[in-house]
Structure 1
Amino acid sequence: MRAVVMEAFGNVDVLKLSDLPKPEPGEYDLLVEVRASSMNPVDFKIRQGMLGEDWPLPFVLGFDVSGVVRSVGKSVKDFKEGDDIYALPSLGRNGAHAEFMLLDSRLAAKKPSSLSHAEAAALPLVTLTAWEALVSRAHIEAGQTVLIHAGAGGVGHIGVQIAKNKGCRVITTAGRDESLNFCRELGADVVIDYKKENVVERVKQETSGQGCPVIFDTVGGTVFEQCFECLAINGQLVTIVPEDCPTICQGLFMKNATLHYEFVGAAALYQANMEGQKCILEEAAKLVDAGKLKPHVSATLPLDQVPDGHRMQESGRTIGKTVITF
């Protein structure tokens, strides 16, 4: 089978189109014929060694999959050959930038019937990340004002839709006209151009000086540091970017606020409540088929152009998702 293999840690030159043997499913595995995958920042972060160098080499990246089940392990009960599925694969196993892959069945859900495989492949990682952050951790409620940074990004554009579906008032940020307009089309109530406006002042203006009870940081760095000033008393801040900032933690303490770190890969890596992610994807599929949740695919690339997909992710200018099709 064809696969894009990471042969070492480094720049995109370490990615090679190779021929690998088709894998055999283990006890709980699905052998999936991959119809589409998509790009996420975690792909280039692993490749660059930003998350450590514990991955076995050579390694296949790609942590979104939509495809067709071709065979199942002996203990698999929920799926059969021919089922269309979508999932976030484990970050610890070979991923979906290959014609076939092994997927733990406990992570998989039936693909939304209204979506193509290319569209469905844009959903799993970003949907699970946004859902776990906003619903499972922050417990957003109707009527709350929620600040979601980078609303035009992969995670952000799904987060905006989830929050709106929960009845929240959504404030988001963007820095280009195209991104600003896209956020408005998603239904964001307030879209702040962070290049032209003072985000903290605008948030305070929009919340009568109280700040937001929930903030979702998808950017990190100075944006994470800025979140404290935008947060309400007793607020909740969720970030997907690991940061070490003692000053901010002291500030959160003084506001009686809660800080959550969201790492969507933890469930599969540690085999901890993997079925929980399956359930989220099942709920997301219902929203998709009801017309209440929609992934945005900004570009599609063939398998041999995965290195270009890495470059696009590293640019930080992608709106929605870049999908790899087979």
Structure 2
Amino acid sequence: MHAITIPTPGGPDALVWAEVPDPVPGGGEVLIEVAATAVNRADLMQRQGLYDPPPGASPLPGLECSGRIAALGPGVSGWAVGDEVCALLAGGGYAEKAVVPVGQLLPVPDGLDVVTAAALPEVTATVWSNVFMLAHLRPGETLLVHGGGSGIGTMAVQLAKAVGARVAVTAGGAEKLERCRELGADILIDYREQDFVEELAKVTGGAGADVILDIVGAKYLARNVDALAVNGRLAVIGLQGGRKAELDLGKLLSKRAAVMATALRSRPLAEKSAIVAAVREHVWPLVSGGRVRPVVDRVMPLRDAAEAHRVVEASTHVGKVLLTTG
């Protein structure tokens, strides 16, 4: 098969289209003939040599894919060759074929085509596991989403609104903010021109956010704590603004607040399977019913992965950038 490889870490041109051996499904695994994959920030970090795959995972980039089942490994039941599926991966999505543990497999939701389904696994698993399973966002609470125009951001807005929460977003520029408003965001903050702590305080009467989903990390840590409500929960899932910062524990104590940080890719198989099962139970009906939808900025050939990485690095997109094998 052909795949995007990374012979030497570096810029987008480090991504090389090459012929590699076909993967073979082992016990409890499924082989997928890939229709599409998606570009995630983790792929950019891996390309730069900053984010190695977990032990035993494919060295190829790609944390999700969609396609059709080509073969079942020993011990797999409940699925059949030819089923249209999408999957959460630890690596290997940038290829014509991929192997995935059966617990990380999802059916393509009703009403969605197999290519568009590639936009779902990583964002739904990330948002559901952090905002709902970890931070326990409840109806009537306020969620602040940093990077509201990203794939994760656009999904977080929709899922939070679906459960009856109020949603604030930060994004750069009027166009991205308007897209967030169309998805249901109630509070729009342009981080280039506005201070999100001040703006959030104005519209919440000084209460702040009950839950914050943060992709920035160190640069926003102190201000995120300032923006938290009493009993607030900060979930850090990215380090785009660095990894080291000072934390005022006194403010956390006074607010009875919590700071949590998680990564999805390196979690044990059992944990990822539990997250995927929760996504299928809670999120898939919303997608099939049309209340939640993947936001796709553009679809490009897998061979053009380098250009797709440039698009994501420039942050000119809204939602997901997909790569197709066809």
Q: TM-score range by the shorter chain?
A: over 0.9
Name the structure 2 match of 1:281: 279
Find the partner of 1:101 among 98, 116, 133: 98
Q: Identify if the C-alpha distance between structure 1 residues 316 and 220 changes in structure 2 by more than 3 Å, giving closer, same or farther.
A: farther
What is the distance in 2 between the residues matched to 1:96 and 1:27?
A: 19
- State the Cα RMSD in Å: 1.9
Q: Identify if the C-alpha distance between structure 1 residues 53 and 124 changes in structure 2 by more than 3 Å, giving closer, same or farther.
A: closer
What is the distance in 2 between the residues matched to 1:276 and 1:56?
A: 20
Q: How does 1:86-125 map to 2 (within 5 A)?
A: 86-91=86-91, 95-125=92-122
Query: What amino acid maps onto 2:231 in structure 1?
Result: N
TM-score for both structures, normalised by structure 1? 0.93
Q: Identify if the C-alpha distance between structure 1 residues 53 and 105 changes in structure 2 by more than 3 Å, giving closer, same or farther.
A: closer
- The question of whether the paired residues in 2 share the 8 Å contact of 1:149 and 1:218 is answered with yes
TM-score for both structures, normalised by structure 2? 0.93
Query: What amino acid maps onto 1:278 in structure 2?
Result: V
The answer on 1:299 being equivalent to 2:301 is no
Task: Give the gaps of 5 or more residues in structure 2.
Answer: none
**Alpha-carbon distance, 1:252 to partner:** 2.2
- The question of whether the paired residues in 2 share the 8 Å contact of 1:156 and 1:218 is answered with no
Name the structure 2 match of 1:59: 59
Name the structure 1 match of 2:310: 311
Name the structure 2 match of 1:72: 72
Q: Identify if the C-alpha distance between structure 1 residues 144 and 256 changes in structure 2 by more than 3 Å, giving closer, same or farther.
A: same
State the secondary structure of the residue aligned to 1:247: coil
- The question of whether the paired residues in 2 share the 8 Å contact of 1:7 and 1:59 is answered with no
What is the distance in 1 between the residues matched to 2:52 and 2:106?
A: 30
- The question of whether the paired residues in 2 share the 8 Å contact of 1:35 and 1:117 is answered with yes
Q: How does 1:121-270 map to 2 (within 5 A)?
A: 121-242=118-239, 243-267=243-267, 270=268
- The question of whether the paired residues in 2 share the 8 Å contact of 1:138 and 1:236 is answered with yes
**Between Structure 1 and Structure 2, how many residues are aligned?**
321
- The question of whether the paired residues in 1 share the 8 Å contact of 2:37 and 2:65 is answered with yes
- The question of whether the paired residues in 1 share the 8 Å contact of 2:299 and 2:322 is answered with yes
What is the distance in 2 between the residues matched to 1:250 and 1:310?
A: 41
State the secondary structure of the residue aligned to 2:119: coil
**Percent of pairs with identical residues:** 33
**Alpha-carbon distance, 1:125 to partner:** 0.6
**Alpha-carbon distance, 1:274 to partner:** 3.1
- The question of whether the paired residues in 2 share the 8 Å contact of 1:85 and 1:108 is answered with yes
> Which ranges of 4 or more aligned residues in structure 1 deviate by more than 4 Å?
52-58
Which deviates more from structure 2 when the two are superposed, residues 311-320 or residues 287-296? 311-320
Task: Give the gaps of 5 or more residues in structure 1.
Answer: none
1:8-40 CA-to-partner distances (Å, cap 9, x unmatched) read 222223211111222221011111000010100
1:209-247 CA-to-partner distances (Å, cap 9, x unmatched) read 121111111222423332111111221111102533233
- The question of whether the paired residues in 2 share the 8 Å contact of 1:6 and 1:57 is answered with no
What is the distance in 2 between the residues matched to 1:28 and 1:58?
A: 16
